[in-house]
């Protein structure tokens, strides 16, 4: 792969190590909406680095689970792509870079810097889940919804950001206004989709939780 940017900040950081990028080439793939299926080559084979896809990550078989959002600053690592207690769903379809992770796991000395970067990304996702748990308990529904949408905007490289309602986590759909008033500050809902119309208006409504997570990505 050339040195051009992939639009995934984590992968770009890893590929800056030219000595390692020469023999492991990420492949750009399209991810449709829905559960990220287990790799046909076996569990834990690939890592996915989203570009303009947005994923959620959380406990499998739990509709009310607190979910982390994975976008252009992170990755879905082995054990998070199906077939485990942690399940990833593609919430906004789009592109991601897929990398065969078996050579990395088999040579931890050579790929120590990559392992460190992906481990740090996984720790940020754990922190994100903890922050959302705090948010649900201490902030109002409209504050939480606005903050969650702003975090998604920060993880997404395109404008505007649109969601299919059925792809949203159950806990987020429950925060939307009733069907006879499907507009909110900074977003509107019609024809089965939620459209982010004004991040500025969302920011006026939101708590500060999204800012804490954005700060962690920029640290």
CB-based burial label for 211 (10 Å; 0-12, 13-18, 19+)? middle
Q: Is it the case that residue 180 has pLDDT exceeding 60?
A: no
What pLDDT digit, counting tens, does each position of 13-64 carry?
A: 998 876 666 577 889 999 999 988 765 544 458 899 999 999 998 876 665 6
Instruction: Give the pLDDT band of residue 181 (cuts 50, 70, 90).
Output: low
Indicate the SS3 state at residue 36: coil
In a domain, 3, yes or no: no
What predicted TM-score, i.e. pTM, was given to this entire model?
0.88
How far apart CA 7 and CA 65 sit, in angstroms, is 29
How far apart CA 74 and CA 156 sit, in angstroms, is 11
Average pLDDT value for the chain: 85
Domain assignment of residue 57, given as a range: 9-122
In a domain, 4, yes or no: no
Is the bond into 201 cis (omega within 30 degrees of 0)?
no
Number of structural domains (the chain) is: 2
Contact 93, 166 (CB under 8 A): no
**Whether residues 26 and 112 fall in one domain:** yes
In a domain, 130, yes or no: no
In a domain, 90, yes or no: yes
pLDDT at site 7: 92
CATH of the domain at 112: 2.60.120.10
């Amino acid at each position: 792969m050339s040195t051009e940017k992939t639009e995934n900040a984590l992968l770009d950081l890893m590929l800056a190590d030219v000595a390692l990028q020469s023999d492991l080439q990420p492949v750009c793939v399209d991810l449709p909406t829905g559960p990220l299926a287990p790799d046909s080559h076996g569990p834990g084979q690939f890592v996915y680095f989203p570009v303009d896809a947005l994923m959620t990550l959380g406990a499998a078989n739990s509709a009310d689970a607190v979910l982390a959002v994975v976008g252009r600053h992170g990755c879905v690592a082995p054990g998070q792509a199906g077939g485990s207690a942690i399940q990833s769903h593609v919430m906004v379809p789009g592109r991601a870079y897929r990398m065969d992770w078996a050579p990395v796991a088999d040579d931890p000395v050579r790929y120590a810097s990559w392992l460190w970067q992906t481990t740090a990304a996984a720790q940020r996702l754990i922190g994100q889940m903890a922050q959302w748990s705090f948010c649900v308990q201490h902030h109002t529904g409209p504050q939480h919804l606005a903050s969650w949408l702003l975090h998604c905007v920060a993880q997404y490289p395109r404008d505007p950001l649109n969601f299919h309602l059925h792809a949203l986590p159950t806990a987020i759909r429950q925060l939307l206004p009733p069907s006879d008033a499907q507009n909110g500050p900074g977003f509107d809902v019609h024809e089965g989709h939620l459209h982010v119309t004004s991040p500025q208006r969302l920011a006026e409504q939101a708590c500060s939780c999204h800012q804490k997570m954005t700060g962690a990505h920029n640290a």
